[in-house]
Amino acid sequence: MSRIGNAPVTIPSGVEVSFNNGEVLVKGSKGELRQAIDACVSVSIEDSEVTFSRESNHKDHRAKHGLYRSLVNNMVEGVSKGYIVKQELVGVGYRATVQGQKLELALGYSHNVLFELPSEIRANAEQERGKNPIITLESHDKQLIGAVAAKIRSLRKPEPYKGKGIRFVGEQIRRKAGKSASK
Mark whether 88 and 162 lie in a shared domain: yes
Does one domain contain both 139 and 155? yes
| CATH number of the domain where residue 87 is located | 3.90.930.12
Report the SS3 class of residue 119: coil
Domain final residue, candidates 80, 99, 117: 80
pLDDT tens for each residue of 102-123: 999 999 999 999 999 999 999 9
Q: Are 145 and 74 in a shared domain? A: no
Residue 51 pLDDT grade (very low, low, confident, very high; cuts 50, 70, 90)? very high
At residue 182, does pLDDT exceed 80?
Answer: no
Domain that holds residue 144: 83-168
- My answer on whether 135 and 163 are in the same domain is yes
- Model confidence over 111-160: pLDDT tens digits? 999 999 999 999 999 998 989 999 999 999 999 999 999 999 999 999 99
Could you give the number of structural domains in the chain? 2
Spell 150-174 as b/e; 16+ CB within 10 A means b. Answer: eebbeebebeeeeebbbbeeeeeee
Instruction: State whether 157 and 92 are in the same domain.
Output: yes
- Same domain, yes or no, for 151 and 87? yes
* pTM of the predicted model as reported, rounded to 2 decimal places: 0.89
Question: Residues 95, 36: one domain?
Answer: no
Flag whether 134 is in a domain.
yes
Q: Which of 80, 104, 137 is the last residue of a domain?
A: 80
Q: CA–CA distance from 16 to each of 19, 23, 26, 67, 169 (Å)?
A: 10, 14, 6, 21, 33
Instruction: Mark which of 46, 80, 114 sits at the end of a domain.
Output: 80
Question: Residue range 5-28: average pLDDT?
Answer: 92
pLDDT in tens, 59-95: 899 889 999 999 999 999 999 999 999 999 999 999 9
Same domain for 57 and 17: yes
| H/E segment holding residue 63 | helix 59-80
Q: Which amino acid is at 82?
A: G
* Residues 82 and 92 sit within 8 Å (Cβ to Cβ): no
